[in-house]
Structure 1
Amino acid sequence: MITLKDITKIYKNGPLEVQALMPLNLSIEKGEFVAIMGSSGSGKSTLMNIIGCLDVPTAGSYELDGQQVQELSEEELAKVRNRKIGFVFQSFNLLARQTVLQNVTLPLMYAGTSREQRNARALELLGKVGLAERVKHRPNELSGGQKQRVAIARALTMNAPILLADEPTGNLDTKSSHEIMALFKEIHAEGTTIVLVTHEPDIAEHAERIITFGDGKVLSDVRKGSGRT
């Protein structure tokens, strides 16, 4: 599903250069649940942005579901982000003036789906995440855990085969965090490939595979039950 070969990322600030990713080789198979761990500045968020086609590597190649990403135009990349990847962020990224229902329907609206179809899909997903009674509420009327559930429902609207989650429990209390991770497990069990960035070991333990980052490179790559890779 995801193959990175000799990927590097260098950020330039005037004469200064910061190498966020050292030459990196990484494969993630279809249907895996992977946690990427590391402290601030380790390179894990840079890697997530490259996987999500939100940033481009300085060098190397990235194959996503059989496509060479570096060969795609901006329009093609936008289609990949809309149809193949669902995004969940720490800050939820909900539109404050829109209702829960309207927030969830946004990807479908951009895809040109009819209002009737997108509303039906959004209602289905909001029921799945336990928010069927909150469709007319706005984000400021929800708890942190409920906001993240809305964000997850929105990420699922296009039936994307990949779900990327960047610190999805970072703004949540312990109870809400474990509820969100239980929801991710349900989504994974239905066949979705999940890549989750976190700095919390207890959150990473929910995944089947844990990749630990430091100084822009992989320090360890462990699959549960099979030891180090």
Structure 2
Amino acid sequence: MITLSGITKVYKNGPLEVEALSHIDLQIERGEFVAIMGSSGSGKSTLMNIIGCLDVPTSGSYLLDGEEVHTLNEDDLARVRNRKIGFVFQSFNLLGRQTVLQNVTLPMMYAGTSREKRQERALGLLDKVGLKDRVKHRPNELSGGQKQRVAIARALTMEAPILLADEPTGNLDTKSSQDIMALFKEIHREGTTIVLVTHEPEIAEHADRVLLFGDGKLLKDTRKGSVRL
């Protein structure tokens, strides 16, 4: 599903060059649940942005579902992001003036889905995440956990095979974090590939595989039942 070969990312700041990722080789199979861990500046967020087609590597090859990403133009990249990848962020990224229902239907509106189908799909997903009684509320009327549930519903609207989550429990209390991770595990059981960035070991425990990054390098690749260094 995801194949990274020799991925390097260098950021330039005037005469200075900072290597955020260094020669990363990584394969994530369809249906895996992977957690990416590492301290601040380890390269985990840069890796997530490259996997999500939000950034491009300085060198190396990225194959997404058999497609070479670096050959795609901006329109093609937007299509890939819309059709193949759902995003969940720590800050929720909800539109404050829109209702819960409107926030969830937004990706489908951009994709040209009919209004009737948008409504039907969004209502079904909001029911799935336990928010069918909040469809007319706005984000400022929701708790942090409820906002993240809206964000997850929105990420699922296009039935993308990959769900990327960047610190999805970072702004949540313990109970809300547990509820969100239970929802991720349910989504994973239904066949979605999940890649999650977290700095919390107890959150990473929910994944089947944990990648530990440091100084732009993959330091450890741990699968439940086995360890690969």
Taking structure 1 as the reference length, what is the TM-score of the superposition?
0.99
Amino acid of the structure 2 residue aligned with 1:93: N
The yes-or-no answer on 1:62 pairing with 2:62 is yes
SS at structure 1 position matched to 2:137 = coil
Which residue in 1 is equivalent to 2:73? 73
Which residue in 1 is equivalent to 2:165? 165
Distance (whole Å) between structure 2 residues aligned to residue 117 and residue 159 of structure 1: 13
SS at structure 2 position matched to 1:41 = coil
Matches within 5 A, 1:145-184: 145-184=145-184
Q: How many residues align?
A: 229
Amino acid of the structure 2 residue aligned with 1:5: S
Q: Deviations over 1:72-102 (max 9, x none)?
A: 1100000000000000000000000000000
Amino acid of the structure 1 residue aligned with 2:13: N
Which residue in 1 is equivalent to 2:89? 89
SS at structure 1 position matched to 2:177 = helix
Amino acid of the structure 2 residue aligned with 1:159: E
Distance (whole Å) between structure 1 residues aligned to residue 222 and residue 14 of structure 2: 38
Amino acid of the structure 2 residue aligned with 1:224: K
The yes-or-no answer on 1:209 pairing with 2:206 is no
SS at structure 1 position matched to 2:133 = helix
Q: CA deviation at 1:226?
A: 2.1
Q: Deviations over 1:40-79 (max 9, x none)?
A: 1100000000000000000000000010000011000000
SS at structure 1 position matched to 2:60 = strand
Distance (whole Å) between structure 2 residues aligned to residue 64 and residue 228 of structure 1: 23
The yes-or-no answer on 1:50 pairing with 2:50 is yes
Distance (whole Å) between structure 1 residues aligned to residue 176 and residue 213 of structure 2: 26
Matches within 5 A, 1:86-165: 86-165=86-165
Amino acid of the structure 1 residue aligned with 2:27: S
The yes-or-no answer on 1:35 pairing with 2:31 is no
Q: Unaligned regions of 5+ residues in structure 1, if any? A: none
Q: Deviations over 1:139-170 (max 9, x none)?
A: 00000000000000000000000000000000
Distance (whole Å) between structure 1 residues aligned to residue 30 and residue 114 of structure 2: 30
Amino acid of the structure 1 residue aligned with 2:66: G
Q: Unaligned regions of 5+ residues in structure 2, if any? A: none
Distance (whole Å) between structure 1 residues aligned to residue 150 and residue 161 of structure 2: 18
Taking structure 2 as the reference length, what is the TM-score of the superposition?
0.99
Cα RMSD, aligned residues only: 0.5
Which residue in 1 is equivalent to 2:15? 15
Distance (whole Å) between structure 2 residues aligned to residue 193 and residue 217 of structure 1: 23
Q: Deviations over 1:6-64 (max 9, x none)?
A: 00000001101100001110000000000000111100000000000000000000000
Distance (whole Å) between structure 2 residues aligned to residue 168 and residue 135 of structure 1: 21
